[in-house]
């Protein structure tokens, strides 16, 4: 958390995250180019690099799309989510390397501006066998650029969280464009079914994981709760809430996180004020509810961030009767 927007500082966890990511990329690119050179000795270095960067960017985008729903299904993936923006920016940089090399090899040696040539060199949009796939990749790269350029919290404030969220949800549009880019491009020239199979498996994994996460969220929203006097409703038993963690319930269409800590119960809005992160999937650290996404903190008793921070989330009345937890769906006026 921070009162002011400033240049990103790398802590040990971020350095480790980035070091592992960089090492993995170097290993992947080296192996891809080496193996491809052995299996296809007639390919030029430029062609090998274009394919290496392209497949690496597509693989990274699959990982970016999987991190969110995987964290919903299994909290052990949360460390990946903490620095997901680093992974997203890296995806754009690798994609830019792929696009830049391809633009140079196929469009930079003529008399026409390379970007103009990209769009006019092939206009056979009615042919599946010869569909102009390169503009699809260019449009996907533009979306990834917008996301990478606005990844810092400065833009989150300037654009407002809802607008920022809408912009970054375009990642699914970019994903669809890249799938079409590969399907209409590389797959048309490939005789081996391996690439087509790998692409299909990747799409299937992304779809299944998203559906499983959506099913879990739907189950929370469909929970039935029984009312008692004074507007309180039963949400769970006390032993169903782990110490320093929460049970997330849905009451009147609102997600509420009920935390147990130091022999006390607290009920807060499940939505973090930073990027709408799920507070109920976090835990209490140093006496504060800590968002699992980026570490924003709130005092469980008041919903306010510890001074000097000014963020605040809604809190709800909660009571314990015979080891059964009850919450009042109306938030406390603050």
> What is the per-residue pLDDT for 148?
92
pLDDT of residue 300: 92
* Contacts (Cβ under 8 Å, ≥6 apart) of 49: 33, 97, 101
Longest Cα–Cα distance of the chain, Å, equals 82
What are the backbone dihedrals phi and psi of residue 314, each rounded to the nearest 5 degrees, phi first?
-70, 145
Give bridge partners of residue 234 from the DSSP assignment: 326
C-alpha span between 52 and 201 (Å, rounded) = 19
Residue 128's alpha-carbon distances to 34, 181, 184, 248, 251, in angstroms, are: 32, 12, 7, 48, 50
Q: What is the pLDDT of residue 191?
A: 63
pLDDT for 317 equals 92
Tokens of 334: 């603050």
* Strand 254-261, strand 264-269: pairing: antiparallel
Query: How high is the pLDDT of residue 6?
Result: 41
d(CA 304, CA 309): 8
In this prediction, residue 281 carries a pLDDT of 87
Looking at residue 63, its pLDDT comes to 94
Output the pLDDT for position 9: 52
> How many CB atoms neighbour CB 210 within 10 A?
17
Q: Note down pLDDT in tens along the chain; length 334 residues.
A: 444 434 445 567 778 888 889 999 999 999 999 999 998 888 889 999 999 999 999 999 999 999 989 988 887 887 787 778 889 999 999 999 999 999 998 888 778 898 898 888 888 888 877 888 999 999 999 999 999 998 877 787 788 777 888 898 999 999 999 999 998 887 677 666 788 888 899 999 999 999 999 888 877 767 665 556 567 888 888 999 999 999 998 887 788 999 999 889 999 999 888 878 889 888 898 899 998 887 889 999 999 998 888 889 999 999 998 889 999 888 886 6
Q: If you write DSSP's letter for every residue of 167-232 in order, what string do you get?
A: HHTTHHHHHHHHHHHHHHTHHHH---SHHHHHHHHHHHHHHHHHHHHHHHHHHHHT----B-GGG-
Helix (H, G, I), strand (E, B) or coil at 330: coil
What ranges in the chain are assigned the alpha helix state H?
12-39, 45-73, 78-82, 84-107, 114-120, 134-149, 153-159, 161-168, 171-184, 186-189, 194-221
And the tokens for 297? 């903190």
DSSP state of 19: H
């Amino acid at each position: 958390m921070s009162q002011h927007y400033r240049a990103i500082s790398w802590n040990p966890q971020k350095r480790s995250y980035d070091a592992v990511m960089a090492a993995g990329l170097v290993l992947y690119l080296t192996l891809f180019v080496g193996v491809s050179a052995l299996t296809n000795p007639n390919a030029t270095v430029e062609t090998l690099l274009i394919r290496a960067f392209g497949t690496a960017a597509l693989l990274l985008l699959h990982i970016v799309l999987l991190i969110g729903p995987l964290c919903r299904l299994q909290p052990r993936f949360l460390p990946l989510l903490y620095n997901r923006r680093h992974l997203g920016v890296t995806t754009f940089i690798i994609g830019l390397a792929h696009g830049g090399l391809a633009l140079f090899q196929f469009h930079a040696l003529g008399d026409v501006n390379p970007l103009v040539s990209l769009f006019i060199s092939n206009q056979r949009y009615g042919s599946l066998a010869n569909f102009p796939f390169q503009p699809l990749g260019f449009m996907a790269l533009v979306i990834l650029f917008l996301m990478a350029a606005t990844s810092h919290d400065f833009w989150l404030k300037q654009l407002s969280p809802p607008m920022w969220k809408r912009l970054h949800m375009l990642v699914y549009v970019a994903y669809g464009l890249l799938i079409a880019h590969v399907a209409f491009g590389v797959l048309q020239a490939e005789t081996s079914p391996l690439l087509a199979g790998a692409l299909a498996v990747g799409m299937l994994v992304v779809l299944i994981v998203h559906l499983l996460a959506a099913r879990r969220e739907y189950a929370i929203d469909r929970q039935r709760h029984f009312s008692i006097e004074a507007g309180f409703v039963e949400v769970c038993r006390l032993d169903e809430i782990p110490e320093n963690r929460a049970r997330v319930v849905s009451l009147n269409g609102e997600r509420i996180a009920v935390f147990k800590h130091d022999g006390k119960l607290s009920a807060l809005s499940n939505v973090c004020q930073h990027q709408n992160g799920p507070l109920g999937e976090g835990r209490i650290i140093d006496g504060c509810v800590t968002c699992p996404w980026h570490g924003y903190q709130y005092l469980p008793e008041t919903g306010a961030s510890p001074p000097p921070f000014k963020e605040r989330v809604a809190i709800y009345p909660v009571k314990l009767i015979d080891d059964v937890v009850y919450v009042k769906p109306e938030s406390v006026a603050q």
